[in-house]
Chain A
């Protein structure tokens, strides 16, 4: 049922293709009516990640032409990958929630809170870094569990729930950390494992961090889970039409609950990547991460109405933003125009989504 909608649409598209290729009168009549726009519409309808992928490709080409050899180098490409790692991982969590027709405003706060938990456990309490990491991930899952409980048991809208828990988690973060930063040097000495995500391996001039590789692995894992497991199909079904899904025997509350818990745990993995990237544990990090993760998901072509979208769309969405920010910065464009461009991308992406959704 996963791609129930996409499956259906490809089926209808196939029918129509068959009809179009058949030599009946009716078919030739339909073929005449198919304008270029309609063909494009069908293509994008059947391939929701095609639009952001094309934007990404065009952006890379245009920036290469403008900026030249400083942009299209293996090193700069890997740099962009490093720069989108945190938002990419949070984007995975956000995609899962959005696929269930929800939204999670608390992803950034969960990330910061869990990063502080990991740092405090390892540095202040002196637990082994492996245990600290696990406690951090458990904290993330617990935070997700709280969100899930409020959404399923109390039937509150996800937007409101996570708006509330965003503030709560953030306040807890400030209380627990006392607004104090744990410095990079302290972590390097006592818990180098927390910096593992920031270590790099060189490959043909590209500098990949383990954090970026972890992000790619997570994308692959969640892609597999969404497309090749019953759980994944149930997630799509629940997002598409919870009533129908529950009539079909899916325990939608359980699915929602699992999605929020998994999303919370993924936010904690983002926290690990965050510590690797900025070196220190800062209770002020990730202030804009909530909206940035939603931006990545939306540009990636995931429908905010649930049930439609691909996890790799989010990766592409995050990369699109990363390429624009990096490219515009290298071209020396003032920051406010970078923000302007990202805003434009969001509106174009949502506009495309609305247009594509029309059958």
Chain B
């Protein structure tokens, strides 16, 4: 009994070590995500893995322990340098803090591509593959204004942001929405400095249901007549909806969001969310793996999308109440493209 379990253990150990031995001659590509919990990053990893398997690449994945965990990401970069990786795909938790580690990687000859979140400065990476978050915000802003029609001039808007750190994605979506809605921006790199009286207030959600609900409750206390709600992502939107439902306002408030996760798209279908801007994490990752392989074989670096300082991986408006001048896909179509 005991002997057989030892034999089993040895067999298991050999079985486990086999992939490592086999992988030695495959090119290595690293993927470092902010966390391994968010479905967005789970999907991103899946996209990278599928692509890597198809191309005969060894993918090594790492992630921070929580959003904002720079230390783990620095360690992951260091591990990948010493593993002789060809390139790194990274969603930086701390876009400025990670830069020294990224510089060491590039000096060591690795191609570094930022996914989803640009580094600060963006030029610290060889390329950025991301959603145009400003555009994503702008689309739902335009949609909301068009849907309200004349009433847009007297709208009361709640802004449900991510957190108080003013990070790029948060700022771009927030400001994009406001511009799309037709509200004059002050500093486009800053959330909450607008003076338009239509904005009831900003509050933070941590991008989660509980935060969304609390923020919505508190803003409703400031002004019970809120009729437009911008949310940083769909979980926050779902939380905000619960608060509105509890206040008896579920049916006469317009909620807009960004992400394109499957639960979010289903919420569009059910009328919880009016419109959402879908992004494409799977595409981001698979394009990233392609770019690194191309660099490894030809030495060629990816080119940015015209007019932007990054490679745009696309954004799509999902709504079942389309307005004439903004192209949109229905929630049924959205469900075939959604992630998570």
Cβ < 8 Å to B, chain A residues 180-239:
180-181, 183-185, 198, 200, 207
- Which residues on the B side are within 8 Å of A278 (C-beta)? 209-210, 213, 238-239, 242
Pair A335/B203 contact, Cβ less than 8 Å: yes
- Whether the Cβ atoms of A282 and B209 lie closer than 8 Å is yes
Q: Is B218 a contact of A326 with CB atoms below 8 Å?
A: yes
Query: Quick check: A334 and B36 within 8 Å, CB to CB?
Result: no
Which residue in B42, B164, B262 is a CB contact (below 8 Å) of A334?
Answer: B164
Determine whether the beta carbon of A329 is less than 8 Å from that of B203: yes
Q: In the complex, are the beta carbons of B37 and A179 less than 8 A apart?
A: yes
A279 within 8 A of B: yes
User: Chain B contacts of A184 at CB under 8 A?
Assistant: 238, 241-242, 272
Contact B206 A70 (CB under 8 A): no
- Asked if A76 CB lies within 8 Å of chain B CBs, one says yes
Say whether B163 contacts A335, CB under 8 Å: yes
- Is the CB–CB distance between A198 and B242 below 8 Å? yes
How does the 8 Å CB contact mask read for B192-223 relative to A, with 1 for contact and 0 for none? Answer: 10000000010110101110011101110110
Residue pair A279, B209 in contact (C-beta under 8 Å): yes
Q: Which of A79, A180, A185, A198 contacts B340 (CB 8 A)?
A: A180
User: Once bound together, how far apart are the Cα atoms of A184 and B246, in whole Å?
Assistant: 13
Number of interface residues of B (CB under 8 A): 39
A86 at the interface (CB under 8 A from B): yes
For A329, list chain B residues within 8 Å (CB): 203, 215, 218-219, 221-222
Specify the chain B residue showing the minimal Cβ separation from A337.
B164
B222 close to A332 (CB less than 8 A): yes
CB-contacts of A330-356 with B (<8 A): 330, 332, 334-336, 339
A330 touches B164 (CB 8 A): no
- What chain B residues lie within 8 Å of A284 (beta carbons)? 37-38, 208, 235
Hey, which chain A residues are within 8 Å of B242, CB to CB? 184, 198, 277-279
Report B42-88 residues with CB < 8 Å from chain A CB: 42, 66
Residues on A with beta carbons closer than 8 Å to the beta carbon of B267: 183
Q: How far is the CB of A123 from chain B (nearest CB, A)?
A: 13
Within 8 A of A (CB), among B24-48: 36-39, 42
Find A183's partner among B42, B214, B219, B263 (CB 8 Å cutoff).
B263
A49 to B54 Cα, complex, angstroms: 63
Contacts of A207 in B (CB 8 A): 246
Contact status B38-A280, CB under 8 Å: no
* Interface presence of B290 (CB below 8 A): no
Q: Does A83 touch B at the CB level, under 8 Å?
A: yes
Asked whether any CB of chain B lies closer than 8 Å to the CB of A244, the reply is: no
Q: What distance in Å separates the Cβ of A140 from its nearest Cβ neighbour in chain B?
A: 19
A23 interface hit (Cβ, 8 Å): no
Given contacts A79-B217, A287-B66, A335-B204, whether A280 and B209 have CB atoms under 8 Å apart is yes
- Closest A-chain residue to B261, C-beta based? A181
Indicate whether A286 reaches chain B with its CB closer than 8 angstroms. Answer: yes
B interface footprint on A267-289 (CB within 8 Å = 1, 0 otherwise):
00000001001111011111110
CB distance from A172 to the nearest CB of B (A): 12
Most chain B C-beta atoms within 10 Å of own C-beta, residue among A83, A185, A284, A334: A284
Q: How far is the CB of A28 from chain B (nearest CB, A)?
A: 55
B232-248 vs A: 1/0 string, CB under 8 Å?
00010011011001100
Cα distance A207–B247 when bound, in Å?
10
How far is it, in angstroms, between the C-alpha of A288 and the C-alpha of B58 when the chains are bound?
35
Residue of A whose beta carbon sits closest to that of B41 = A179
Q: A76-B221, A336-B164 are in contact. Are A280 and B210 (CB under 8 A)?
A: no
Shortest Cβ distance from B239 into chain A, in angstroms? Answer: 6
Question: In the complex, which residues of chain B have a beta carbon less than 8 angstroms from the beta carbon of A325?
Answer: 214
CB within 8 Å for A335 and B221 given contacts A277-B242, A278-B242 = no
**Does the CB pair A287–B208 fall under 8 Å?**
yes
Quick check: A285 and B210 within 8 Å, CB to CB? yes
**CA–CA, A170 and B36, complex, Å:** 11
Bound: A118/B262 CA distance, A: 21
With A207-B246, A278-B209, A280-B263 given, is the CB distance from A183 to B238 under 8 Å?
A: yes
Q: How far is the CB of B153 from chain A (nearest CB, A)?
A: 23
Residues of A within 8 A of B163 (CB): 335
| Contact B36–A174 (Cβ < 8 Å) | yes
- Whether A339 lies near B164 (C-beta < 8 A) is yes
Q: Would A277 and B213 count as touching, CB distance under 8 A?
A: yes
Q: With both chains docked as a complex, state the minimum distance between the C-beta of B192 and any C-beta of chain A, in angstroms.
A: 7
Docked pose: A8 CA to B242 CA in angstroms: 49
A53 to chain B, nearest CB (A): 24
B206 pairs with A83, CB closer than 8 A: no
Cα of A178 to Cα of B46 in the assembled complex, Å: 12
State the 8 A-B residue pairs at the shortest beta-carbon distance, nearest first: A278-B209, A329-B218, A336-B164, A335-B164, A279-B242, A181-B263, A179-B39, A335-B204
**14 further contact pairs, Cβ within 8 A, besides A185-B270, A280-B235:** A70-B222, A83-B214, A86-B210, A174-B37, A181-B235, A184-B238, A184-B241, A184-B272, A185-B272, A277-B242, A282-B235, A288-B206, A330-B221, A339-B164
| A-B residue pairs in contact (CB < 8 Å), sample of 28 | A70-B221, A76-B221, A79-B217, A83-B214, A174-B36, A174-B37, A178-B42, A181-B238, A181-B263, A181-B340, A183-B267, A184-B242, A184-B272, A185-B272, A200-B246, A277-B213, A277-B242, A278-B209, A278-B242, A279-B209, A280-B238, A283-B37, A284-B208, A284-B235, A285-B209, A287-B206, A330-B218, A334-B164
